[in-house]
Structure 1
């Protein structure tokens, strides 16, 4: 058994601790059906609401593209982390290449960044809709923005 394998036996995949890996796996299991539901909602939206403004259609399209990229990055992170963990546990003599860890960490950062970005876009669109519905009440919109961005 090589020294690299012996060093990796007690080392989790770079960038993820074992409890974080379990949390991401649980998140992937929960988010998979929710992602499928969001795809169905987008298809229903584009088939039903032909006369919505380009702003709303663009927002929905942007959100589903960002959600798809986030889901792909989350899936990649979980898969490569388990692949590395499997190699370590089964004593596979394959050195963990530096660019593999770097790419895994970049996709993990993209998951977090896209999640925060999606949340900001959705909440901002919600505030704009409430602002229109409240006859452009700036105080109400300001309070909601203050509550959503602490």
Structure 2
């Protein structure tokens, strides 16, 4: 390996889209380790999911962070909402999940591909309730956890 370091655009790089997963340095040409790259993407998805579920709640009226765990309303009588909205979260997640699903389509059985196509439809409709979204992410994670990552 030549230890070349470069950014890879998994959605637009023509060589990668043509399934030529090799180092771009002409003298090298070693294949990229797809498992390592997919694992890194999956770790990003898991971290974003974790951060979404552990985020602060803020008051609609005064934007103060919820301090008491059991309080249903803020001291100003406002209701609490998630600091990061569902659509903002899905906008961050869609690209990463799309790349993972596309790479998974090339490596899995027909039955596994059908399951992933169902999840693609769910991902496109990102206006899900937080609980449903959490369940979707858990199921997506279980699909990808069936694979062996480095």
Relative to the length of structure 2, the TM-score reads 0.34
The structure showing larger relative contact order (alpha-carbon pairs under 8 Å, at least 6 residues apart) is: 1
Structure number having the greater helix percentage: 1
* Rg comparison, structure with higher value: 1
Relative to the length of structure 1, the TM-score reads 0.34
